[in-house]
Amino acid sequence: MTIWNNENSEAREGDLVELVGVGYKHIILQLEKDGVLHTHRGVVQHNDLIGKPWGTKTTSHTGNPFFLLQPSLADLIRGIPRSTQIMYPKDIGFILLTLGVGPGTKVLEAGTGSGGLTTALTYSVGNEGHVFSYDKREEQQKTAIRNIEKFGLAKRVTFKIRDIADGFDEVGVDALFLDVPNPYDYLVQVKTALKPGGFFGTILPTTNQVIRLLPELRRNFFSFIEVVETSIRYYKPESERFRPVDRMVAHTGYLIFARPFLTPLEDSLESEDGDPDENSGKNQ
Amino acid sequence: MTIWNNENSEAREGDLVELVGVGYKHIILQLEKDGVLHTHRGVVQHNDLIGKPWGTKTTSHTGNPFFLLQPSLADLIRGIPRSTQIMYPKDIGFILLTLGVGPGTKVLEAGTGSGGLTTALTYSVGNEGHVFSYDKREEQQKTAIRNIEKFGLAKRVTFKIRDIADGFDEVGVDALFLDVPNPYDYLVQVKTALKPGGFFGTILPTTNQVIRLLPELRRNFFSFIEVVETSIRYYKPESERFRPVDRMVAHTGYLIFARPFLTPLEDSLESEDGDPDENSGKNQ
Amino acid sequence: MTIWNNENSEAREGDLVELVGVGYKHIILQLEKDGVLHTHRGVVQHNDLIGKPWGTKTTSHTGNPFFLLQPSLADLIRGIPRSTQIMYPKDIGFILLTLGVGPGTKVLEAGTGSGGLTTALTYSVGNEGHVFSYDKREEQQKTAIRNIEKFGLAKRVTFKIRDIADGFDEVGVDALFLDVPNPYDYLVQVKTALKPGGFFGTILPTTNQVIRLLPELRRNFFSFIEVVETSIRYYKPESERFRPVDRMVAHTGYLIFARPFLTPLEDSLESEDGDPDENSGKNQ
Amino acid sequence: MTIWNNENSEAREGDLVELVGVGYKHIILQLEKDGVLHTHRGVVQHNDLIGKPWGTKTTSHTGNPFFLLQPSLADLIRGIPRSTQIMYPKDIGFILLTLGVGPGTKVLEAGTGSGGLTTALTYSVGNEGHVFSYDKREEQQKTAIRNIEKFGLAKRVTFKIRDIADGFDEVGVDALFLDVPNPYDYLVQVKTALKPGGFFGTILPTTNQVIRLLPELRRNFFSFIEVVETSIRYYKPESERFRPVDRMVAHTGYLIFARPFLTPLEDSLESEDGDPDENSGKNQ
């Protein structure tokens, strides 16, 4: 059980909680005895929150309202201080599902970045699983480590400073995700770490990178290659004028998934008509 | 650890495995000693698979190749025999993330349907969490139960036959998802089962249903209401002619998320300018 | 020939021209002898432009470069001073094509608004066609008239101040477009003005309006009803890093098209299986 | 006035008309005295249609209903017998608007293909404009010519059989559209035919082609380069269950627009911060 998603019906000392104030401003904080939170709308005493049930409304010394909440995973990820491009919830949800990351999964990622995906991975693998997170930039990874520790997830992840050209220490991991600009340079290392038929994924912002990656995947006997863009569109939640919002994110990156094998599948499995099995998920 | 996503490097008797044959045809089966699989491309002996490492290539009696794989979660969900509209991976991934479903989560769903979301939920909550799944159609639920049992996830879920108008047995669950045509009729029941500030979600195919739901959510003091459409577009994974596929899914449903409170947040938290906090996730 | 899209290879006195300066700043102006243009990057003399071939590079008195261009229709529309929501090129192009607006077409629109659609309509109908543009807000229409006059298109359009509840003066027009919030209130007036089987279109921002319009269309014997959203996504035109832009317009409005008849088609033409002809354009 | 979009309120001999029958089956035909139309739902006499007002309901000899309509431009284009990939209305509308094609425009296209875009161009330029359409495949072009003649638009277009590597005969055209796989090979020819600052467009199905085109455009002093994808999503026009259709077109091609100059604009016009003018249409 992580410290924030606990089973208690009220906030306790040490819990990571979320306060929501005027304008739906989100603040994530860890409750400490006698702690004090300074906001633009006044001071809130931690002691006024400790022991209170979720959903409690409190007020700052200036009379502004704040609601006490368990933080959502998406809010935690969105709230991470970022020194690099953050991964978006729209992509993270799809990545977790496609890689099959869940309780007990052993998953490897590189680079760590700001730790957005690391947070989701460590949350999802549970105490029985484990995350191995590589980055070559020490300063970068320190920031991510601080976040993961704040979220109470540190014991589920091993951080390493490494140029992944030198390879990974692990073998037989269930899933492996690369968030680096040049994944095509590390496919041999990926294959060594990932079990045969394991789940590989990567995200690339430009078509040029995808174009460069695809032949390298095949050359290294990766199969079930899928390239996919996700997008989400929010609606204004107004019953009398129900319509989409005016603007949306147009692009984050292309997601590429594949599974490595010891021999090339494609030579064997292409059917005469070239049509993929309709259960293969294309177009879904 | 679920039976299919195990730590072994080879397939064992009792494992749920995936065979992939010509045309990328996926077949999911449970390995049994002396078992026999009949396919359009010949007969495969289970004994030829038991004890073999993942990625092994075998052949049917007619000489057609098959590759031995651990099934992916997405393949399992896509492969579920469906008597109702199935939920799509593009939506399931986003739902899990937004509801914060992970190891240890207690989550309630209704209706069970074909068990696609049930599968993802039971996989994600791990052995420390639990899923409560309600449906009023007994035959329907039986099919879902068979699937969940096949996946080795049965002990993580409690199935109930119930008209949810009569309420849920649980209180204080972390998350609750309704996949019913009229969620607006059950919000009092939802609030009773869900902890304050817990995560509620539902999926509705038509705008009319969303329009009807929104005021009911507010009337029942749900806040942080988000309405969102997800979409994914696949690309042809061809390096020399990289382009999207020709056709795609245009619509599955509108996802609606909200969190219930004891008092209405909106009266307190609307800022003067009405602009939501930019961390609230809108437009992302 | 409109004054801006002329056959000459060089700019003449009286021409509506476009100057493009640093930062791709667009300026639209009418050339006058001895005219002077003041910009943030210096003063440009009209005399330096008159008689010069399209594409000529000139400089302001401060040495900043400006290029002399014929304005594009899209730039003219985007540049219209707007007191109301403007219609977007992505929608206008699709509207013109679907309504079949071209040389010789007689088309009616209400309301005039800022004149964005009016500009495209008057441009497209040529000297043999005609546009009738209604608005009940006199001040509003005056602005549009000024724009249309500046574009040299005034003689192709008749402006009228009218509450269209009182009906239109024209009968037998080829096409009719309503850009009003409540088109469902004017369908009898539309049918009277439009020839049987003529082309009707409207744009509505919210689903509620569409839901209200649809039964009124059927009640008034409109058929071939199509509801469609258009969207466009721009790419960064960079060869080495080819990818979509970061953000895009998520919504402008729902376009609804239909054709009026004297008797209801749908009763007669629904096939047994309910499938529309695949040439009917659905899904395209 | 084209023969099909005429000012008459009734169908005349020689008119191109549209019949719509059960299942919304569209049939386009030219009315001839004593002509006979054979359909799957019976025989229709042309004489029963000649002189009848638009919207008239007639019946075949087997009693099946047919409605008499003026054809829409979109229906004509969709109905063209195609030997090549046809261009879609969603793209054609946007192309016409962006290229500024209207009455009086002189526009050049290559290749002719099945004549879908040719139809829209000849319709739009009116009697004062002209279209020059090149193709190197004589058989291909013959089909297009037959369509254009059927539509009564032949006198507005000059067809030429030519390998466009040999250049175009025209100079100073207003707009030029290439629908060929390798537009990057013909940019010198394009520049010679197009007036400075004229409007160039092309459509390419793959990202690889776009990536190859972009540097060639810059090398040939084209500027205002825009790359854009259009998409449309249809809705089921049902008031009680208003929602998008299930599937849609995911991709037709990337549209690329640019304007040629005698000198490179980009060197002069890049602003310090690199931000384009917000009126430049990006993101719209």
Decide: A104 and A125 in contact? Cβ < 8 Å. Answer: yes
Residue D256: the pLDDT is 98
D81 touches chain C (CB under 8 A): no
Does the distance separating the beta carbons of C234 and A251 come in below 8 Å?
A: no
> How close is the nearest chain A Cα to the Cα of D215, in Å?
14
Contacts of A194 (CB under 8 A, 6+ apart): A108, A172, A173, A175, A176, A200, A260
- Closest partner residue to C241 (CB to CB) among A206, A242, A249 is A206
Whether B208 contacts chain D with CB within 8 A:
yes
Say whether D268 sits in a helix, a strand or coil: helix
Mean pLDDT for the stretch of residues B131-156: 93
What does the pLDDT read at residue A159? Answer: 98
Q: Do A205 and C243 touch (CB under 8 A)?
A: yes
User: In sequence order, what DSSP letters do the residues of C67-115 get, joined into one string?
Assistant: EEEPPPHHHHHHHS--SSPPPPHHHHHHHHHHHT--TT-EEEEE--TTS
Alpha helices for chain D (secondary structure H): 73-79, 89-99, 116-125, 138-150, 187-193, 207-219, 265-269
Chains touching chain A through at least 3 C-beta pairs below 8 angstroms are B, C, D
- In A154-249, which ranges are E strands? 157-161, 173-178, 194-204, 222-236, 243-244, 247-249
Whole-number Å distance between alpha carbons of D17 and D12 = 9
CA-CA distances (angstroms) from residue A98 to A137, A154, A179, B244, D191?
Answer: 28, 24, 16, 19, 48
Q: What is the pLDDT of residue D81?
A: 78
**Which of B206, B242, B247 lies closest to D250 in CB terms?**
B247
Number of helices (H), then strands (E), belonging to chain B: the values are 7, 15
Query: CA of A254 to nearest chain C CA: how many angstroms apart?
Result: 9
Euclidean distance between CA atoms C82 and D277, whole angstroms: 18
Report DSSP state, residue D87. Answer: P
**Of A61-65, B224-228, B259-263, D76-80, which gets the smallest average pLDDT?**
D76-80
More confident residue, D5 or C70: C70
- Please determine, for residue C128, whether its predicted confidence score (pLDDT) is greater than 70: yes
d(CA D224, CA D14): 45
A5 band by pLDDT with thresholds 50, 70 and 90: low
Would you tell me how many other CB atoms lie within 10 Å of the CB of residue C181? 12
Within chain D, which residues score under 70 in pLDDT? Answer: 1-5, 83-84, 271-284
The Cα C34–Cα B208 span in angstroms is 61
Give residue for tokens 């079949």. C100
Å from D34 to nearest chain B CA? Answer: 44
What pLDDT, on a 0 to 100 scale, did the predictor assign at position B283? Answer: 38
User: How confident is the model at residue C2, as a pLDDT?
Assistant: 53
Looking at the predicted structure, is the pLDDT value of residue B167 above 80? yes
Q: Where are the alpha helices (DSSP H) in A105-173?
A: 116-125, 138-150
Q: Which residues pair with A141 in a beta bridge?
A: none
Single out the residue of C156, C195, C159, C200 nearest to residue C179, CA to CA: C200
**Residue A25 backbone phi and psi in degrees, to 5:** -70, 125
Max CA distance (Å), chain D: 74
Tens of pLDDT, residue by residue over B172-206, are: 999 999 999 999 999 999 999 999 999 999 999 99
Average pLDDT, chain C: 90
Burial classification of residue D167, based on how many CB atoms lie within 10 Å of its CB (0-12 exposed, 13-18 middle, 19 or more buried): middle
> Per-residue confidence at B276, pLDDT binned at 50, 70, 90?
very low
Q: Are D235 and D243 in contact (CB under 8 A)?
A: yes
pLDDT band at B284 (very low <50, low <70, confident <90, very high): very low
Neighbours of D156 (CB within 10 A): 21
Q: D172: Cβ–Cβ under 8 A, 6 or more apart, which residues? A: C9, D106, D193, D194, D195
Report which secondary-structure segment, H or E, holds B36: strand B36-39
Distance between CA atoms of C167 and D59, rounded to whole angstroms?
Answer: 34
* Closest approach of C211 to chain B, Cα-based (Å): 8
Average pLDDT, chain B: 90
- How distant is the Cα of D66 from the closest Cα of chain B, in angstroms? 32
More confident residue, B80 or B103: B103
Question: In sequence order, what are the beta bridge partners of D201?
Answer: D177, D257
Residues from chain D that touch B88, judged by Cβ atoms under 8 A, are none
The tokens for A241 are 């004028």
**C247–A248 CB contact, under 8 Å:** yes
Q: Tell me the mean pLDDT in the region A269-280.
A: 52
Q: For residue B33, what are its two tokens?
A: 């000693």
pLDDT for the residue numbered A74? 87
- What number is the average pLDDT over the span C164-173? 97
Calculate the CA dihedral of residues D262, D267, D272, D274 and round it to 10 degrees.
80
How much is the pLDDT for B3?
57
What is the spatial distance between Cα B57 and Cα B21, in angstroms, rounded to a whole number? Answer: 10
**Mean per-residue pLDDT, C105-119:** 95
Half-sphere CA count of A178, side-chain side, radius 13 A:
27
Contact (Cβ atoms closer than 8 angstroms) between residue D104 and residue D74: no
Contact A138, A109 (CB under 8 A): no
Instruction: Select the residue of A211, A250, A283 nearest D208 (Cβ to Cβ).
Output: A211
Tell me, yes or no, if C5 comes closer than 8 A to chain D by beta carbon: yes
How far is residue A225's CA from residue A206's CA, in Å, rounded to a whole number? 17
CA distances from A46 to A10, A34, A57, B273, D273 (A): 13, 6, 13, 29, 45
What is the average pLDDT score of chain A? 90
Q: What is the C-alpha separation between A98 and A82, in angstroms, rounded?
A: 25
**Residue B73 corresponds to which tokens in the numbers above?**
């979660």
**Residue D212, SS3 per DSSP:** helix
pLDDT (0 to 100) of residue B279 = 39
Residues 6+ apart with CB under 8 A from D68: C197, D11, D17, D18, D19, D49, D52, D53, D54, D55, D56, D57, D58
- Interface subset of B 131-160, CB within 8 angstroms of A: none
Q: Does B245 touch chain D (CB under 8 A)?
A: yes
Q: Which of B243, B245, B248, B249 to mutate to test the interface with D (most CBs of D within 10 A)?
A: B243
CA-based angle D223:D229:D230, to the nearest 5?
120
Judge whether A215 and A232 are in contact, CB under 8 Å: no
Question: Which residue do the tokens 């000459």 mark?
Answer: C8
Q: Give 3-state DSSP helix, strand, coil % of chain C, rounded to 5.
A: 30, 30, 40
d(CA A6, CA B172): 11
Euclidean distance between CA atoms B254 and A235, whole angstroms: 9
Choose between B207 and C84: higher pLDDT.
Answer: B207
Q: Side chain identity at A146, as an amino acid letter?
A: R
Write out pLDDT tens, residues B28-72.
999 999 999 999 999 999 999 999 999 899 999 999 999 999 988
Substitution target from D243, D247, D248, D252 for chain B, most B beta carbons within 10 A: D243
Which helix H or strand E contains A75, and what residues bound it?
helix A73-79
Whether residue C148 contacts residue C157, with contact meaning beta carbons closer than 8 Å, is answered with: yes
Residue A85 has what pLDDT?
Answer: 74
Nearest Cα residue to D131 out of D97, D150, D103: D103
> Is B206 in the D-facing interface, judged by CB distances under 8 Å?
yes
Instruction: Say if CB B74 and CB B26 are below 8 A apart.
Output: no
A91-111 burial, b if ≥16 CB within 10 A, otherwise e? bbbbbbbbbbbbbbbbbbbbb
Separation in Å, CA of C247 to nearest CA in chain B: 9
Nearest CA to D119 out of D161, D178, D75 is that of D75
Distance CA C50, CA B173 (A): 76
Each residue's pLDDT tens digit, C22-60: 888 889 999 999 999 999 999 999 999 999 999 899 999
Give the CA distances from residue D88 to residues C164, D121, D232, in Å, rounded to whole numbers and listed in that order: 35, 14, 10
Bridging pattern class, strands C254-260 and C222-236: antiparallel
- Residue D210 phi/psi, 5° resolution? -65, -45
Task: Dig out the tokens for C31 from the structure.
Answer: 């050339």
pTM of the model: 0.94
For residues D7 and D4, give the distance between their C-alpha atoms in angstroms, rounded to a whole number: 9
Q: Is B211 on the interface with C (CB under 8 A)?
A: yes
D260 to chain C: closest CA residue:
C55
Residues 212-241 on A with a CB inside 8 Å of B are: 212, 214-215, 224-239
Residue type, A180: V
Q: B248 touching D, CB under 8 A?
A: yes
Residue D69 in contact with residue C265, Cβ under 8 Å?
A: no
Distance from CA of B152 to the nearest CA of D (A): 33
Task: Quick: pLDDT tens for A128-185.
Answer: 999 999 999 999 899 999 989 988 899 999 999 999 999 999 999 999 999 999 999 9
* 3-state DSSP assignment of residue D110: strand
ipTM for the predicted complex:
0.92
Cα Rg of chain D, angstroms: 22
Q: Which chains touch B (3 or more CB pairs under 8 A)?
A: A, C, D
**With pLDDT > 70 as the criterion, what percentage of chain C qualifies?**
92
